[in-house]
Structure 1
Amino acid sequence: MRNSSTNLGGGRRYRRVGVGSRVVLTDHHQCGQRSTPDLGGATVPRSDRRRRGHGLDNLLADGCTLTHITGYVQPSGEWLSQMRAGRFLYHGIEEKRVTVEVEGNTAHVSGRFITDATVYGTRANWRLQMTMGYAREDDMWSVVRSAAATW
């Protein structure tokens, strides 16, 4: 496969590089580390998930986990409940670097972001290195795991 440029929306353009069935999308300014996606045992959501109408919950696979900067591995249902209770409030995010890697029905997204969030009542700009694993069922992509660390 020859290198080409792709627009994933939001005005960002990404460079496509790869051979065979593996495609890596990386922003034009940074080339991050590439690794094989690890789905961490989560499963793609049932097809009825699309009809649930729970917003963010529709994007998360059954069994999805979120690993916080403290190392706590949190089930997505618990995280969503805490967001609904106002314990996690997200005000904005500034993308610094992102790499998107797609291989068949899996994808791996990693990047650095500055996230303006209030966590347990304390508002701050969090410098986060995020990695997210995705799986595709039919035409729907779902997050199967997410992990955050500081940078």
Structure 2
Amino acid sequence: MNNIFWIVLLLGSMDGSTLTEKKIMQQNTTNDQAAVLDTVRKLAQLMIARDTAAMNNILDEHYTLTHMTGYVQSKSEWFGEVQKETMKYYSAQEVSHSVKVTGNQAEVTVQNRVDARIWGSRNTWRLQQKVQLEKRNGKWIILKSVASTF
């Protein structure tokens, strides 16, 4: 009888630790989702501020921006456009977003109304960005972004 008590107790504690592990995993996923979204929102703020040095800290060295025209622009070319203000961002108002985190990879789809002057034309665009990120040393880095309208 005493052995049955210990077996039941052991099995009960194993089940409890599994639930605790699941809760920790869910919390980590929630934390990662928030961190990913914060990184994408920070990029929008830095674009408006023309802070390419800070942008460089959250963008991969091989980052590319695919414009809604389909033109794929390297990070260095884009930074040049931002600095020269041939691409000037005035504001970005978020409309919606979705975040998917799978391990150290993430994808964010964010829809913004972006007030910008791009190559001489100023407009408020309904811009959707699909952003791919990777977690490196505990920090989320943006790998690429693909723009379209919504």
TM-score of Structure 1 vs Structure 2, range by shorter chain: 0.5 to 0.7
Number of aligned pairs?
108
Residue matched to 1:82: 81
Residue matched to 1:141: 140
Q: State the TM-score, normalized to the length of structure 2.
A: 0.65
CA distance in 2, matches of 1:141, 1:56: 13
Contact 1:25–1:99 (CA under 8 A) maintained in structure 2: no
CA distance in 2, matches of 1:136, 1:77: 22
Residue matched to 1:109: 108
CA distance in 2, matches of 1:120, 1:145: 21
Q: The residue matched to 2:69 in structure 1 has which SS? A: coil
Root-mean-square deviation (Å): 2.5
- Quick check: which has more Rg, 1 or 2? 2
Cα distance, 1:25 vs structure 2: 5.2
Contact 1:61–1:142 (CA under 8 A) maintained in structure 2: yes
Structure 1 segments (4+ residues) deviating >6 Å: 21-24
Percent identity (aligned): 31
Residue matched to 1:69: 68
| Structure 2 runs not aligned, ≥5 long | 1-18, 20-24, 35-51
In the alignment, does 2:58 pair up with 1:59?
yes
CA distance in 2, matches of 1:106, 1:138: 13
Q: The residue matched to 1:54 in structure 2 has which SS? A: helix
Q: How does 1:1-150 map to 2 (within 5 A)?
A: 54-150=53-149
Cα distance, 1:62 vs structure 2: 1.5
Contact 1:92–1:117 (CA under 8 A) maintained in structure 2: yes
Q: State the TM-score, normalized to the length of structure 1.
A: 0.64
Kindly provide the CA deviation profile for residues 8-33 of structure 1, in whole angstroms up to 9, marking residues without a partner as x: xxxxxxxxxx98x977959xxxxxxx
